[in-house]
Amino acid sequence: MAWLSLLDTAILLGLCFSGVALGLVVSLRFLNYPDLTIEGSLPLGGAVGGLVLVHTGSLWAALAAAALAGGAAGLMTACLHVFLGVGRLLSGILMVAALYTVTLRVLGGSNLSLLRTEGTWRQIEAWDRAWADAQGVMLDPLKLSLLIVLVGAVSLGLVAFFHSRPGLAIRSIGDNEGFVAGLGRDPRPYKFFALALGNALAALSGALIGINQGFADVGMGQGALVLGLAGLILGEQSIGRLLGGRRLVPALIASGVVGSVLYQVLLLLSFRAGVTSSDVKLLTAAMILVVMVATGGGSFFYRGRTF
Amino acid sequence: MFRTCLAALVLSLFVTGCEGTPEPAKPIEPAKPVVRTVAIATLMTHPSLDLIVTSMKAEMEAKGFHEGETVKYTIQNANGDANAVVGILRDLELSHPDVTVAITTPVAQAAMKEVRGPLVFSAVTDPVGAGVVDSMEKPPPLITGVSDAWPYKAQLELARSLVPSAKSLGVVFNPGEAASQYGIARIRELAPPLGFEITEIPVSNTSEILGALKVKAAKLDAVFLSSDNTVISGVPAALSVCFDQKKPLFVGDSGTVEQGGLAAVSVGYDGVGRATGDLVARMLGGERNIPVVVASDAEVYLNLDTAKRIGLEIPADVRAQAKKVFGTP
């Protein structure tokens, strides 16, 4: 039973974090833009989502507000890069610093408690808790179903979008920006849109994480990028390969979601196996490298890519 | 499948049978040498937080729980990564510890969702504001803990004993921070009975401290800094104003006193740890419905150079209770 409960938490956390990996799919894989802003838009999403949840009690309003805030952050990054000519990495670094202050202001302190909120999420948790206590297990079936539906819907939406004309344009800019410009298409609006979308996904993730763990904290973004990347690479080398590799949109989207879950499963298994949490960061870095090298990922996925 | 269901059913009967929370505590049999398990989850490594764990173990030892013999500790540390907290807690919870100890506010908040058994939180400044408990006196039966809120009462009393004639007390704080929202409310409540009239000096960032304090300092008899990060970061500005205008400055950490603040009463994390250990021991003994404890073990720091500079005499009895005295007498 313990294993099932561990798997339950891992899937729950993995789905909450999948927005980060999906954000990376959009910016890093499709647009070929190493967008570091995600590390700042995740806690921003947590803060904005949390604040809206506390004041309105509506889960949906909270998620929508978080996505909008993340989107705005992405637009700012795009402004820095496109209009001011700031480099791609630097524009993200600057935005992470700026967003730290914004997040602190939104939270009104370093930490916002989401334990006393009312509404849909609270009811779902209460139902899960009552059910689990009656069964004597530690599982959250309703919360899990809601997340599966939510992440599933977002994923399907992304697959559909990246098969549409604007989606295709974003992917071609990622492949060869000069070519797109040469065809007489202005790549700038697409960059704005893709960066906004990537950060909206990360912010959505931040809101889900905060609501799930019961607090939004200004330190939530720390290490989120590595975590998302670890998930994405794990996914690409497992389900991504199975579904046909990086030329295919559904394979990459599935990589993001399944990889995030897989990463959390491995993380919790390693805790269970007695690995202390202090060693997890080094193990994560080693795991990314091993997976990439062992599967020949260096040439399979990443040729001509930033990372 | 049938077997699993049956097992789940039996397990559920067992669990509901022995964990009916409102039931009065079952006495434990001292005859059986059972090893009790205590799971500790903390947010990061940090001298004060490490001291809590060490002191907690020392207190448990004194209460008869010997590490490795009658009690076993499992410690998980999130290393500052708030996102790892939920996973760590679920992992600890799956080993069904007799008591879970959640150190720091975020860990305590996540523990409210993950931990089903007895829970003792520690180093949570404002447990009610953080949503961990609804009341300090009456937390849920299985939950209790220690708050490391600034000892405002002791701080104001120290100020009173050092400047007996002072009337108007300036309080510098940042209204945007949760810790000082809690702090200013306590000060408003505690200062008038001691004969202080409060002048509130709100600032929203460190650069405002100098100007705001300078304008008001002439009318003040003493200055007190609240427990928020903005004010603590901007302490040099407050120090320079208080030096120039010869006003006694009261703070809440030893570092500021070393830099020239007159006096501080700071939270003693050894005391926080000991109080935590005491609660864990009581929980292990089967006690329930324990009120939340506010750490009372405070440490006094004084700076004699500053006292001389502003022409203030520090009574010998106050000097005697100081943990550390800076400057030459």
DSSP secondary structure of B59-107: HHHHTT--BTTTEEEEEEE-TT-GGGHHHHHHHHHHT--SEEEEESHHH
Which B residues 85-144 touch A at CB under 8 Å?
A: 85-88, 90-91, 93-94, 105-106, 109-110, 112-113, 116, 129-132
The pLDDT score that the predictor gives to residue A273 is 80
**SS3 state of residue B103:** strand
| pLDDT, average across residues A57-62 | 93
Q: Which of B63-77, B156-170, B216-230 comes out lowest in average pLDDT?
A: B216-230
> Residue B30 — very low, low, confident or very high, per pLDDT cuts 50/70/90?
low
Domain B152-266+298-326 bears CATH identifier 3.50.50.60: no
Residue with tokens 């590390």: A39
| Most trustworthy range by pLDDT among A172-186, B19-33, B174-188 | A172-186
Q: Read off the pLDDT of residues A243-291 as tens digits, 9 standing for 90 and up.
A: 887 678 999 999 999 999 999 998 888 888 877 777 777 888 888 888 7
Q: Which residue of B has its CA nearest to A122?
A: B113
**Closest among B204, B251, B106, B190 to A43, alpha carbons compared:** B106
Selected residue of B90, B95, B125, B227 to mutate for chain A interface (largest A Cβ count, 10 A): B90
Cross-chain Cβ contact A281/B79 below 8 Å: yes
Average pLDDT over residues B164-189: 84
Decide if A213 and B88 are in contact by the 8 Å CB cutoff: no
Answer whether B273's CB lies under 8 Å from B54's CB. Answer: yes
* The two three-digit tokens of residue B7, written as one number: 């097992």
- Residue B123 has a pLDDT of 87
Locate the chain A residue with the closest alpha carbon to B75: A276
pLDDT bracket for residue B33 (50, 70, 90): low
Torsion of CA A95, A96, A98, A101, to 10 degrees: 160
Give A283 or B278, the one with higher predicted confidence.
B278
Measuring CA to CA, how many Å separate A102 from each of A41, A69, A213, A216? 10, 11, 21, 14
| Average pLDDT rounded to a whole number, residues B228-253 | 85
Interval A3-30: pLDDT, tens = 888 889 999 999 999 999 999 999 999 9
Q: What is the DSSP string of B123-151?
A: S-S-TTTTTS-S-SSS--TTEEEEE----
Task: Kindly state the DSSP code that residue B289 receives in the 8-state scheme.
Answer: -
Give me the torsion for CA of A128, A130, A131, A136, rounded to 10°: 120
Residues of A in contact with B8 (CB under 8 A): 1, 135-137
Decide if B259 touches A, using CB distance below 8 A: no
Task: Note the residue count of chain B.
Answer: 329
Helices then strands, counting H and E runs in chain A, come out as: 14, 2
CB contact under 8 A, A215 and B178: no
Give the rounded percent of residues in chain A with a pLDDT score beyond 70. 95
Cα B207 from Cα B231, distance rounded (Å): 10
Contact A278 B77 (CB under 8 A): yes
Using a CB-CB cut-off of 8 Å, the residues of chain A touching B91 are 6, 268, 271-272
Six-digit token pair at A297?
Answer: 């990922």
Name the region of B315 (left: φ>0; alpha: ψ -120 to 50; beta: rest): beta
Position B179 confidence tier, pLDDT thresholds 50, 70, 90? low
Instruction: Please compute the mean of the pLDDT values over residues A85-101 and round it to a whole number.
Output: 92
Q: Kindly identify which residue of chain A lies nearest to residue B81, measuring between CA atoms.
A: A222
Cα distance between residue B63 and residue B17, in whole Å: 29
Closest by alpha carbon to B287, among B149, B139, B148, B147? B139
Please name the helix (run of DSSP H) or strand (run of DSSP E) that holds residue B323, with its range, or none: strand B322-326
* CATH 3.40.50.2300 domain extents, chain B: 36-149+268-294, 152-266+298-326
Q: Which of B79, B85, B93 sits opposite A278 (nearest CB)?
A: B79
Phi-psi region of A214 (alpha: psi -120 to 50; beta: other; left: phi over 0): left
CB-count burial class (<10 Å; 0-12, 13-18, 19+) for A127? middle
pLDDT at res. B12: 44
> What pLDDT is attached to residue B26?
55
Question: Both ends of chain B: CA-CA distance in Å?
Answer: 79
How far off is chain A from B45, nearest CA to CA, in Å? 10
Res A18: pLDDT: 96
Q: How far apart are CA A83 and CA B172, in angstroms?
A: 42
Whole-Å CA distances, A66 to A76, A211, B6:
15, 12, 44
Question: Chain A contact for B7, CB < 8 A?
Answer: yes
- Per-position b or e across A171-210, b if 16+ CB within 10 A of its CB: bbbbeeeeebeeeeeebeebbbbbbbbbbbbbbbbbbbbb
User: What's the helix, strand, coil split of chain A in %, to 5?
Assistant: 80, 0, 20
A274 vs A70, residue with greater confidence: A70
pLDDT of B296 higher than 80: no
**Average pLDDT score over chain B:** 84
Q: What is the mean pLDDT of residues B64-87?
A: 87
Q: Tell me the average pLDDT across B15-20.
A: 40
pLDDT the model gives residue B29: 52
Given pLDDT bands bounded at 50, 70 and 90, which one contains residue B41?
Answer: very high
Indicate the pLDDT class of residue B24, thresholds 50, 70 and 90. low
How deeply is B47 buried, as exposed, middle or buried, from its count of CB atoms within 10 A (0-12, 13-18, 19+)?
Answer: exposed
Asked if B314 and B328 count as a contact pair (C-beta separation under 8 A), the reply is: no
Nearest by CB: B15 against A2, A136, A213 = A136
Confidence at B31, pLDDT banded by 50, 70, 90: low
Whole-number Å distance between alpha carbons of B320 and A177: 74
Kindly state the average pLDDT of the residues A52-75. Answer: 95
Phi, psi of B36 (to 5 degrees): -85, 150
pLDDT of residue A136: 81
Which residue, among B37, B26, B92, B101, has the nearest Cα to B69 in the 3D structure?
B37
Shortest alpha-carbon distance between residue B94 and chain A (Å): 6
User: Is A280 touching B (CB cutoff 8 A)?
Assistant: yes
E strands, A19-134, are: 111-113
Question: Which stretches does DSSP call E strand in A42-177?
Answer: 111-113
Interface of A with B in 6-45 (CB under 8 A): 6, 9-10, 13, 17
- Give the pLDDT band (50/70/90) at residue B191: very high
Residue B181 has pLDDT above 80, yes or no: no
- Phi, psi (5° rounding) for residue A26? -65, -50
Residues of A in contact with B16 (CB under 8 A): 133-134, 136
- pLDDT, tens only, B192-206: 999 999 999 988 778
Is B22 in a helix, a strand, or coil? coil
The answer to whether A187 touches A166, Cβ cutoff 8 Å, is no
**A227 interaction partners in chain B (CB closer than 8 Å):** 83
The mean pLDDT value of chain A amounts to 89
β-pairing, B249-251 vs B263-267, is parallel
Which residue's structure tokens are 């300036």?
B170
pLDDT-above-90 percentage for chain A: 56
- pLDDT tops 80 at residue B149: yes
Q: What is the CATH number of domain B36-149+268-294?
A: 3.40.50.2300
- Look at A209-218, B2-11, B140-149, B183-192 and tell me which has the smallest mean pLDDT: B2-11
Cα A172–chain centre separation: 23
Give me the residue from B14, B86, B93 closest to A136, CB to CB.
B14
Query: Of A45, A95, A100, A104, which Cα lies nearest the Cα of A70?
Result: A45
pLDDT tens string A41-51: 999 999 999 99
Residue B177: the pLDDT is 66
First CA to last CA across chain A, in angstroms?
39
Q: For residues B162-178, give the mean pLDDT.
A: 85
**A20 φ, ψ to 5°?**
-65, -45
Q: Is the pLDDT of residue A189 over 90?
A: yes
State how beta strands B249-251 and B197-202 pair: unpaired
Q: Which residues of B198-233 are buried (b: 16+ CB within 10 A; e: fewer)?
A: bbebebeebebbbebbeebbeebbbbbbbbbebbbe
Alpha-helical runs (H) found in A214-248: 224-235, 241-242
Q: Would you say residue B111 has pLDDT above 80?
A: yes
